[in-house]
Amino acid sequence: MSDRPEPPSPSEGLAFPTVARLELDDLLDQLIDRATEVKLTQGRLRGLLDAVHHITAGLELDDLVARIAENARSLVQARYAALGIVRDGRLIRFVHIGMDAGTVARIGALPQGKGVLGELIDHPRALRLDDLSAHPSAVGFPAEHPPMRSFLGVPLLAGGTVYGNLYVTESEHEGGFGADDEQLLTALAGAAGIAVENALLLDGERRRARWQAASAEMASSLLAGELPPEEELQHLLDVAVDIARAHGAAVTEVADADPTTARVVVVAGDLAHWAGRTAGVAGSITQAALDADGPVLVPDATTDPRTTGVVARAPEVRSMLAVPLDASPPGSRSVLVLTRTADDEVFGPVEAEMLLAFAAHATTAIELGRGRRDREAVRALEDREQLVLSLSEQVLHRIQRVGLALTAAASGAEPTLRDQLLAQVAELDDVTRAVRDTVFPR
């Protein structure tokens, strides 16, 4: 073995002044921080691209809104997320992510678009808060609601139209949501707005298709006479409740003899207890539908003066839709009313348009069916009359023949028998005249 010493390490003898070493350490730390930041940014951008890909995959509306909320929560690392679909300035659908089923059950009714959520509906622009409860529009939470402080909400826009709002709360990072979170969520909401717009259009077309198919089937069954007349309106209501996914339905009738009172004549769904009830017409939704001669939408029955009586009888009712019915008995007018609860989506223009067309088709079929039955009844009456006439003629001819035979027999009989036979002939003549006067009145 050689006794030569090991060559010196390249770093041996290499030394930096203290100041230079500190500056180098700072630069290395900054470089590491920047690299970490770039890596984190790339990861979040990749998450944004994945989220956009997921929400543009052509999902059904219910699945789509849940997927958007879940992606939003994951993207900005929030504990809770929610998406509210907005129509005509009202929250019509609300989906939330992050709370367990037990907590949701204890909280009760879903938000109705008030407070900070209402602020976003009224002013659709990004809203970022460190303390949700400190905002002037905050109305507090229900007793069982989990605490929420940090908040970030952005609107879902497409073509200048607001289709909803995306909310996240309780950031998992210290300091709450930042500007980067707002930018990421705004970008996600832009893609989500287009996806929701397309899903709503598709959902509307599918609803129209269901209504049209039900209308055609309903008209066919009514025209075919498959139902007894007294069950036609009941069948109409049952089909309407099913297709509209309504809580209940009722037909109210206003008689011309008493135009101040409406009576519930047919019910379906969860309004069975309304059967036979009466209510004042003035200022009611029944009167509104009759005056409008078209559909009347009530998004919130608890705040509309036309439906205060309805809410008093059925507190669970929230959204209502009424259309006039043409198939009313003579001397009366009728209105078809559908109801939904606070947990259901509020009725919208698609349901109003389709229910009006459905009611028109069904009532036309009912009227045609009534006309057909009336014609059949007249035809049957005419047939019976013709039969009576024919039988009457045959009976009269036979009576006449009997009378002639008796008269001939009387001419050769003894006086006493002759008188009896002639008396019978006279009675037969009286019967003949009575039959003729009855069957052939002058």
Query: Helices 61-76 and 179-223, interaxial angle, to 10°?
Result: 170
What does the alpha-carbon distance between residue 211 and residue 358 come to, in Å, rounded to a whole number?
7
User: Read out DSSP for 103-119?
Assistant: HHHHH-SPP-S-HHHHH
**Mean pLDDT of the 408-412 span:** 75
C-beta of residue 344 within 8 angstroms of C-beta of residue 269: no
Phi, psi dihedrals of residue 176, rounded to the nearest 5° = 80, -160
Instruction: Identify the pLDDT of residue 55.
Output: 63
408 vs 59, which has greater pLDDT? 408
CA distances from 306 to 55, 258, 317 (A): 40, 20, 13
Q: Which two tokens stand for residue 174?
A: 């210290």
- Res 317 pLDDT > 50: yes
**Residues sharing a CB contact under 8 Å with residue 161, sequence separation 6 or more, in sequence order:** 197
What does the alpha-carbon distance between residue 162 and residue 336 come to, in Å, rounded to a whole number?
32
Which of the four pLDDT bands, split at 50, 70 and 90, describes residue 49?
low
User: Read out DSSP for 235-268?
Assistant: HHHHHHHHHHT-SEEEEEEEETT-TTEEEEEEEE
Residue 183 corresponds to which amino acid? Q
CA distances from 197 to 68, 75, 202 (A): 13, 22, 9
User: Which CATH number applies to 44-202?
Assistant: 3.30.450.40
Which of the four pLDDT bands, split at 50, 70 and 90, describes residue 321?
very high
Query: Helices 415-439 and 349-411, interaxial angle, to 10°?
Result: 160
Running DSSP on this structure, what letter comes out for residue 4? Answer: P
Q: Considering the entire predicted model, what is its pTM?
A: 0.63
Residues in the chain: 442
Cα-atom radius of gyration of the chain, to the nearest Å?
41
**Residues sharing a CB contact under 8 Å with residue 378, sequence separation 6 or more, in sequence order:** none
Domain boundaries along the sequence of the chain? 44-202, 207-372, 378-439
Share of the chain above pLDDT 70, in %: 76
Instruction: Identify the pLDDT of residue 152.
Output: 92
Same fold, 44-202 and 207-372: yes
Residue from 120, 47, 44 nearest 82 by CA = 120
Reply yes or no on domain 207-372 having CATH 3.30.1360.120: no
Return the sign of the alpha-carbon dihedral for residues 193, 196, 198, 204: negative
- For the chain, give me the number of helices (H) and strands (E)? 10, 11
β-bridge pairing 151-158 and 261-269: unpaired
Burial label, 66 (beta-carbon count in 10 A; 0-12, 13-18, 19+): middle
pLDDT in tens, 175-230: 888 888 888 888 888 888 888 888 888 888 888 888 888 888 877 777 777 777 77
Q: Which two tokens stand for residue 292?
A: 């409008």
C-beta of residue 262 within 8 angstroms of C-beta of residue 280: yes
User: Read out DSSP for 7-39?
Assistant: PPPTTTT----HHHHHHHHHHHHHHHHHHHHHH
pLDDT in tens, 226-247: 777 777 888 888 888 998 889 9
Instruction: Identify the pLDDT of residue 249.
Output: 92
**Mean pLDDT of the 1-14 span:** 52
Instruction: Identify the pLDDT of residue 338.
Output: 93
CA distances from 290 to 226, 240, 309 (A): 30, 19, 17
352's enclosing H/E stretch is helix 349-411
Residue from 192, 142, 145 nearest 167 by CA = 192
146 vs 298, which has greater pLDDT? 298
Which of the four pLDDT bands, split at 50, 70 and 90, describes residue 362?
confident
Instruction: Identify the pLDDT of residue 1.
Output: 46
Tell me the average pLDDT of the chain: 78
What does the alpha-carbon distance between residue 204 and residue 79 come to, in Å, rounded to a whole number?
33
